[in-house]
Copies of this chain bind each other. A is one copy, B any other.
Amino acid sequence: MQKYADFVEFTDVTPSAALSVARHGWRAKCLQRLIRLDLPVPRTVALPADTVRAIAAGQLPDTEKLVAVFGNDLLVSVRSSPENPDWGGPGTVLNVGMNSDRHAALTASHGAEAADALYLGFVQSFATHVARLDPDMFMAPTGPTALATALAAYESETDTPFPQDPARQLSDVLRSMARAWEGTTARLLRQAKGAPAEAALGLVVQSMALGIGPGLSGSGTMQFVDSITGAAQITGRFRGQSQGRRAAIATLYLTKDARGTSLEETSPEVFAELVAYGAACRKKLRDEMQLEFTIESGRISVIDAARVQRSSRAAVKIAVALAKDGIISRADALLRVEPRALSELLHYQVDPRSKRDRVAHGIAVSPGAATGRIVFTAAAAQASAARDEACILVRRETAPEDIRGMHAAVAVLTERGGVTSHAAVIARGLGLPCIVGASDIRLNARDRSLTLADGRLLREGDVITVDGSNGEVLLGAAQMLEPALDDGFRTLLRWADNVRDIGIRANADTPDDARTARMFDAEGIGLCRTEHMFFDEDRLTVMREMIFADTSADRRVALERLLPMQRADFTALFGIMAGLPVCIRLFDPPLHEFLPHDREGMRELAEALDRPLSDVTRRVEALSEFNPMLGMRGVRLGITIPEIYEMQARAIFEATVEASKSGDPVVPEIMIPLVSAQREVELVKSHIDAVAAAVKTEMGAEFTYRLGVMVETPRAALRAGEIARHTDFLSFGTNDLTQMTYGLSRDDAGRFMGSYVSQGVYAEDPFHILDVEGVGELLLIGASRGRETRPKMTISVCGEHGGNPESIAFCRAAGFDYVSCSPFRVPVARLAAAHFALLDPKGRDRD
C-alpha cells in the first residue's frame, strides 16, 4: 500500500519568500528575482532539495496541498532546480494535469487541434519519462488519431488507463524526476562538471502559460548578446501558437529582418516590453540572461530565465561590458572569465557552428586551428612556405633539425609524443596549433603518406585542418573564427595586472618570440634558450666546426665567427624588450644534437669539413650518449669546454653596451643550466666575471649583470643554500626537475602516461600539472634555502608549468617573484594570477 505522507514541503515563490540557492536551487531563486523585478511570472512554487531527496528515497509526496495552490484543474510544468545550472537535472515536464476533462474544455475553448497537441505532448512525456515506456511507441503517430493511439498504447503497455487524477500525475512526475537525479549516469555527468557527491536537486512547479489563443500567441526565447561573439545583438526565436501544429504565424523573427516578418515590426509594444525585461534582468541579475517567455493573446509571461551560454570570447566581452556599465565590479568581471579559456582567443579557431569532418585525434598541446597542405619533411615545409602555401608539418615526432620546418608551417601534427614532447614545447613557443600523439594515424615515411584509422590514405599536398584546441584533425579547410585580441581582451588583462601580485614573464628565444611577449605585455623574458640560435644553416656549420676542433685554439676560431651572430641576437632582444629584464640561459644541449645522425648527413658533413668520413662517424659515436638527458650538457659542457660560455658571455656583454647606448641601461640576467653543485657556479662565475672585466676595458663602458642558476636537478634544490652565495636569482626549470624527481623522461613517458593517469597511479600527468607533493616540495626547499642565504634572492619558475594556473597558485603561495611561460600563455597567466589575488588576498607568502 502506498503511504501518502504529510511532509511535502514547498514554498510559494513570492518576493519575500525565504528561498536559498543551496536549498531550492538556482532556478527557484532566479524566478524569485524575476518576480521581484515585477516580471510577469506565472504562479510558482519551489520544492526544496531535502523534500526531493526524501521523495527519491521512497517517501510518497502528499500533493494535496500543492494541488490546493494551483486549483483542482491545475495545469503545471515541473522543472529541475539544482544548485548550479551546469549540473544538469531531469528534463522539464509540461502540462501536468492534462486529462480527458481538461482536454474537452480546451477543445471547446481553443479548438481540437491545440487541445490534442497539448494532451498528446503530455502523454508522450509521461509515458517515456515517468512510466519509462519505449519512446518509439509514442513518438510515431501524427494527425487527428494520434492522441487516441497514444492513449491506447499507454493502456496496452501498462494495463491501466492513462492516469486522470492531476494529483496522482503530479506525484508520479515528482517521484520520477527525483529518482532520475539519483541515477548513476546523471551522477557521473554532473560530477564531471564539478558537482560534489552530495549535490541535491530542487524542483519548481509552475502554472502553465499555454501560449495558444487568438491574436499574438506563442512561445520563445530572447537574449541580448551573441553567444559566440558576445556582441550586443538580440537573438532567439519566437514560434507562434507553438503548442499547436498549424499555427497562424508559424515563426517570427525577433528583430526586423529582410527574410520575413518580425516580432519587432508586428508587435512593437510586446517587443519593447521584452527588451525592457531583458535590460532589467541584466542590471539586477548582473549578467546577460536568456528569457523564456510565452505570449497569450498579446499578454507576456516570463516563465524562465538562464545565464546566456557563451563562448570564451563572448565571456570576455560580456564581462567587460557589464563592468564598464557599472553593473558588476572589475573584480567580478575578472572572476567571470576562466583563465584557460583565454588561450582560445589568441588564435584562429574552428567556428563551432560549422560542420567537422574529423579524421584523427590526438593530444591537443598548442591551441588554435590552422588549415594547410600536408608536408612530411621540414624541407618540404620550407619549400611550401617559399611558395606562400600554407602547410602542416606531419612527423612521427620532431627533433631540433625540424625547427626551421616548424617555423615554415602553420600547424604541426605528430604521431607520437606527449604534452611536453619537443613538438609540443616548440609549437607552444611559436604559437603554432599542434597535435601530438595522434596514435590513430600511421605515417608511411617512405611513400610520403598517412594512413587514417579507417584505412583512407592522405598524401602530401592534401588539405587538412589541425584543431590544436581540442586535438581534432579535420579533413579539408574548416570555417574559422579570427583571434579576439580586441579591446575587451586588452581591457580585462589591464584590470588583471592591477590586482595580481606575482610577476609574469615570457619564455622567448627569438626576436619574434620577444615581440609576441611584448604584445601580450609580459614583464620581461624569463627564459631565453640560446641553443635554438645555432640551428640556422650558416651557424650550424660553424657549430660543427667548433665541435670538430681538436684544440682549444681551433675552438675559439670557430666561436669567434659565432660571436657577432650571437651579439646581434642579444642586441635585437634587448632592443625589443626595451629595458624589461631579459634572462639568458647559457648553452644547454648535448653537442650531438648538432651532428647528423644518418649516414647521408655524415657523408655530407665529412665533405664540408674536408675530413675523412671515419673521423666524422667516430666523433658522432664518441659524442653519442645512453641517456642524453642525464649527460654531457648544460654547465657540464660549460666547464669542460669553457670557450662556449665565454663566447656567449662576451656576446651578451657587448650587446649590453650596444643596447644601453640607445636606451635605458640594460642589466642582462645570465642563467646557468643543469647545475648540481655549488662549485660549478663558482667556476662559471669566475669565467664570466673575467669576460665582463675584459669587455668593460675594451669598450670603455660600465655595466652590471645578474647571475642566476636554473634549478633543474633535485640536488640543486637541496643545495640551494650554498648555490645562493654566488647568485642573484634561482629559476626552477620544472620540466627537467620533474623528469629527475620522478626518474621519468618526458620523451619516453608518453607510452604509459595515459594508462597511468587513467588508473590513477598519477593523479595528473606531472609534465602537465606541477606535482605539488614531490617536485613542489623541492621547489619549496630550494626557495627557502636560497632565501635563507640571500633574502632578496629572486625566485621564479621558467618550466612549461609556468603558465598553468595551478602552478601560479603554488608559486604565489610560496612567495615566488614571477613565473615565466611561453608567450602565448602569458594572458592566461596574467588572468589566473589576478584570480588568485582576488580569491585569496592573504595567501601570498611575501610582500
A1 within 8 A of B: no
Q: How far does the alpha carbon of A742 sit from the alpha carbon of B736 in the complex, in Å?
A: 11
Contacts of A108 in B (CB 8 A): none
B747 touching A640, Cβ below 8 Å:
no
A324 within 8 A of B: no
Contacts A632-B752, A715-B742, A742-B715; A639 near B761 (Cβ below 8 A): yes
Contacts of A712 in B (CB 8 A): 743
A680 within 8 A of B: yes
A751 within 8 A of B: yes
B680 touching A761, Cβ below 8 Å:
yes
Residue-wise, chain A 338-354 has the 8 Å CB interface mask toward B (1 for contact) of: 00000000000000000
| Residue of A632, A674, A683, A719 with most partner-chain B CB within 10 A | A632
B718 touching A748, Cβ below 8 Å:
no
Which B residue sits closest to A743, measured CB to CB? B713
Contacts of A736 in B (CB 8 A): 743
A160 within 8 A of B: no
Give the residues from 611 to 638 in chain A that come closer than 8 angstroms, CB to CB, to chain B: 625-632, 636
A715 touching B739, Cβ below 8 Å:
no
Contacts of A40 in B (CB 8 A): none
Q: How far does the alpha carbon of A748 sit from the alpha carbon of B640 in the complex, in Å?
A: 14
A176 within 8 A of B: no
Contacts of A777 in B (CB 8 A): 718
B759 touching A627, Cβ below 8 Å:
no
| Residue of A712, A744, A760 with most partner-chain B CB within 10 A | A744
A645 to chain B, nearest CB (A): 14
Contacts of A751 in B (CB 8 A): 632
Q: How far does the alpha carbon of A640 sit from the alpha carbon of B754 in the complex, in Å?
A: 11
Contacts of A741 in B (CB 8 A): 676, 713-715, 718, 740
Name A's interface SS: helix
Residue-wise, chain A 708-723 has the 8 Å CB interface mask toward B (1 for contact) of: 0000111100110000
A762 within 8 A of B: yes
Give the residues from 675 to 691 in chain A that come closer than 8 angstroms, CB to CB, to chain B: 676-677, 679-680, 683
A424 within 8 A of B: no
Contacts A626-B745, A718-B773; A636 near B683 (Cβ below 8 A): no
A756 within 8 A of B: yes
Q: How far does the alpha carbon of A537 sit from the alpha carbon of B250 in the complex, in Å?
A: 81
Contacts A636-B752, A677-B761, A679-B760; A719 near B628 (Cβ below 8 A): no
Which B residue sits closest to A714, measured CB to CB? B714
A266 within 8 A of B: no
Which B residue sits closest to A760, measured CB to CB? B679
A778 touching B714, Cβ below 8 Å:
yes
Give the residues from 561 to 611 in chain A that come closer than 8 angstroms, CB to CB, to chain B: none
B629 touching A630, Cβ below 8 Å:
yes
Which B residue sits closest to A771, measured CB to CB? B715
B748 touching A627, Cβ below 8 Å:
yes
Which B residue sits closest to A640, measured CB to CB? B752
Contacts of A748 in B (CB 8 A): 625-628, 630-632
Q: Can you tell how many copies of this chain the complex includes?
A: 2
A755 within 8 A of B: yes
A774 within 8 A of B: yes
Contacts of A636 in B (CB 8 A): 752, 756
Contacts of A755 in B (CB 8 A): 639-640
Instruction: Name 17 interchain pairs, CB-CB below 8 A, sorted by A.
Output: A626-B629, A626-B745, A627-B629, A627-B630, A627-B747, A628-B748, A629-B630, A630-B748, A631-B749, A636-B756, A639-B755, A639-B759, A676-B742, A679-B760, A713-B742, A713-B744, A715-B741
Residue-wise, chain A 755-771 has the 8 Å CB interface mask toward B (1 for contact) of: 11001111000000001
A745 touching B627, Cβ below 8 Å:
yes
Contacts of A627 in B (CB 8 A): 627-630, 745, 747-748
B677 touching A762, Cβ below 8 Å:
yes
A740 touching B761, Cβ below 8 Å:
no
Q: A625-B747, A719-B773 are in contact. List 14 more A-B contacts (CB 8 A).
A: A626-B628, A626-B629, A627-B627, A627-B630, A629-B630, A630-B630, A630-B748, A640-B755, A676-B741, A676-B743, A680-B761, A713-B744, A714-B714, A718-B773
Contacts A639-B759, A760-B679; A626 near B747 (Cβ below 8 A): yes
Q: How far does the alpha carbon of A759 sit from the alpha carbon of B676 in the complex, in Å?
A: 15
Contacts of A625 in B (CB 8 A): 745, 747-748
B715 touching A774, Cβ below 8 Å:
yes
A243 to chain B, nearest CB (A): 54
A444 to chain B, nearest CB (A): 12
Q: How far does the alpha carbon of A777 sit from the alpha carbon of B742 in the complex, in Å?
A: 17
Which B residue sits closest to A744, measured CB to CB? B630
B745 touching A676, Cβ below 8 Å:
no
A739 touching B778, Cβ below 8 Å:
no
A674 touching B761, Cβ below 8 Å:
no
B628 touching A761, Cβ below 8 Å:
no
Which B residue sits closest to A713, measured CB to CB? B743
A443 to chain B, nearest CB (A): 12
A749 to chain B, nearest CB (A): 8
A418 to chain B, nearest CB (A): 12
Q: How far does the alpha carbon of A744 sit from the alpha carbon of B744 in the complex, in Å?
A: 13
Give the residues from 359 to 416 in chain A that come closer than 8 angstroms, CB to CB, to chain B: none
Q: How far does the alpha carbon of A240 sit from the alpha carbon of B774 in the complex, in Å?
A: 77
Q: How far does the alpha carbon of A140 sit from the alpha carbon of B636 in the complex, in Å?
A: 54
In the A-B complex, list the 3 residue pairs whose CB atoms are closest, starting with the nearest: A630-B745, A627-B745, A631-B748
Which B residue sits closest to A774, measured CB to CB? B715
Contact of A743 among B639, B674, B742, B774 (CB under 8 A): B674
A445 to chain B, nearest CB (A): 11
Contact of A740 among B679, B740, B747 (CB under 8 A): B740
Q: How far does the alpha carbon of A640 sit from the alpha carbon of B719 in the complex, in Å?
A: 35
A13 to chain B, nearest CB (A): 47
Contacts of A714 in B (CB 8 A): 714, 740-741, 743, 774, 778
A597 to chain B, nearest CB (A): 12
A268 to chain B, nearest CB (A): 65
B740 touching A743, Cβ below 8 Å:
yes
Give the residues from 694 to 753 in chain A that come closer than 8 angstroms, CB to CB, to chain B: 712-715, 718-719, 736, 739-745, 747-749, 751-752
Contacts of A759 in B (CB 8 A): 639, 679, 683
Contacts of A715 in B (CB 8 A): 741-743, 771, 774-775
Q: How far does the alpha carbon of A639 sit from the alpha carbon of B759 in the complex, in Å?
A: 10
A233 to chain B, nearest CB (A): 50
Residue-wise, chain A 3-17 has the 8 Å CB interface mask toward B (1 for contact) of: 000000000000000
Contacts of A718 in B (CB 8 A): 741, 773-774, 777-778
A347 to chain B, nearest CB (A): 29
Q: How far does the alpha carbon of A545 sit from the alpha carbon of B274 in the complex, in Å?
A: 73
Q: How far does the alpha carbon of A747 sit from the alpha carbon of B744 in the complex, in Å?
A: 17
Give the residues from 194 to 219 in chain A that come closer than 8 angstroms, CB to CB, to chain B: none
A680 to chain B, nearest CB (A): 6
Residue-wise, chain A 631-653 has the 8 Å CB interface mask toward B (1 for contact) of: 11000100110000000000000
Which B residue sits closest to A777, measured CB to CB? B718
Contact of A631 among B628, B740, B745 (CB under 8 A): B745
Q: How far does the alpha carbon of A680 sit from the alpha carbon of B640 in the complex, in Å?
A: 39
Which B residue sits closest to A674, measured CB to CB? B743
A688 to chain B, nearest CB (A): 16
A411 to chain B, nearest CB (A): 24
A788 to chain B, nearest CB (A): 15
